[in-house]
């Protein structure tokens, strides 16, 4: 089958992984990487800004060359355009709840867990390329707060917005997966049986088995 979409962005990005999971759930074929029209693209360069005005990732490139940027917008497009797993419920209030939590995860959980904590380990900016442990320690309270809020929202449900898999889970899965796999990040989740069981439930989905590796 020919590739249906190009995802602009590196495979290790949590948001790129969310789009990959969404494509897998819909049975869509895709490629990913930092190339447009076969040419390498650097973050924030002219070619990148042409498809994302703020030079961020991911960007979904359609077969006809049109593009959609921002993860939530991409997921909504895939959900309305293609059959397969529904990412958003039909009930308007329930849909708003999924949108609400997708935004909370996209903005606040991502900032605490990924931007302020995990990226300090992945891209060390200390002297000689060392991890700035002062920054790591300073980030931990917000990570713990994010974990507490996610745990409270999950409650006894199977998924973050109830008992149906949704866009919010697609946004959260790569973040929690990275956190739990990281030696120090995993310690922050240790003993949180609710989130660990939830994460394992996500990992057992065929889409996540393929992407979260």
pLDDT tens-digit readout, 54-80: 999 999 999 999 999 999 999 999 999
pLDDT band at 3 (very low <50, low <70, confident <90, very high): low
Tens-place pLDDT, residues 162-177: 999 999 999 999 999 9
Averaged pLDDT of the chain: 95
Residue-range domain boundaries for the chain = 5-81, 92-205
Cα–Cα separations (whole angstroms), residue 117 to 70, 134, 137, 140, 187: 22, 11, 9, 7, 13
Q: Give every CB contact of residue 13 below 8 A, 6+ residues apart in sequence.
A: 57, 58
Q: pLDDT value at position 37?
A: 87
Distance between CA atoms of 59 and 71, rounded to whole angstroms?
A: 8
Domain 5-81, CATH: 3.40.30.10
Report pTM.
0.95
Q: Which of 97-101, 168-172, 183-187 has the lowest mean pLDDT?
A: 183-187
DSSP the chain: ----EEEEB-TT-HHHHHHHHHHHHHT--EEEESEETTEE--TTSHHHHTT-TT--S-EEEPTTS-EEESHHHHHHHHHHHS-SS-SS-SSHHHHHHHHHHHHHIIIIIIIIIIIIIIHHHHS--SGGG---HHHHHHHHHHHHHHHHHHHHHHTTSSBTTBSS--HHHHHHHHHHHHHHHSHHHHHHHTT-HHHHHHHHHHHTSHHHHHH--
pLDDT at residue 1 tops 80: no
pLDDT at residue 87 tops 80: yes
Q: pLDDT value at position 2?
A: 63
pLDDT band at 13 (very low <50, low <70, confident <90, very high): very high
pLDDT band at 213 (very low <50, low <70, confident <90, very high): confident
Multiple choice CATH, 92-205, 3.30.980.10, 1.10.510.10, 1.20.1050.10, 1.10.40.60: 1.20.1050.10
pLDDT at residue 17 tops 80: yes
For the chain, the C-alpha Rg in angstroms (whole number) is 17
């Amino acid at each position: 089958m020919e590739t249906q979409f190009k995802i602009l962005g590196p495979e290790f990005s949590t948001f790129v992984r969310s789009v990959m999971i969404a494509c897998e759930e819909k049975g869509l074929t895709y490629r990913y990487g930092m190339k447009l029209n076969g040419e390498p693209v650097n973050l924030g360069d002219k070619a990148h800004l042409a498809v994302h005005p703020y030079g961020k990732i991911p960007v979904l490139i359609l077969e006809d060359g049109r593009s959609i940027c921002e993860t939530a917008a991409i997921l909504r497009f895939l959900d309305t355009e293609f059959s397969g797993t529904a990412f958003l419920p039909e009930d308007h209030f329930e849909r708003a709840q999924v949108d609400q939590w997708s935004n909370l995860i996209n903005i606040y959980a991502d900032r605490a867990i990924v931007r302020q904590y995990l990226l300090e380990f992945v891209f060390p900016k200390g002297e000689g390329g060392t991890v700035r442990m002062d920054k790591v320690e300073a980030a931990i309270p917000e990570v713990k707060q994010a974990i507490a809020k996610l745990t409270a929202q999950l409650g006894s449900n199977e998924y973050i917005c109830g008992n149906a898999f949704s866009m919010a889970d697609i946004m959260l899965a790569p973040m929690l997966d990275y956190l739990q796999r990281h030696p120090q990040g995993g310690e922050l989740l240790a003993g949180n049986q609710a989130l660990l069981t939830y994460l394992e439930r996500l990992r057992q989905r065929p889409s996540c088995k393929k992407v979260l590796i």
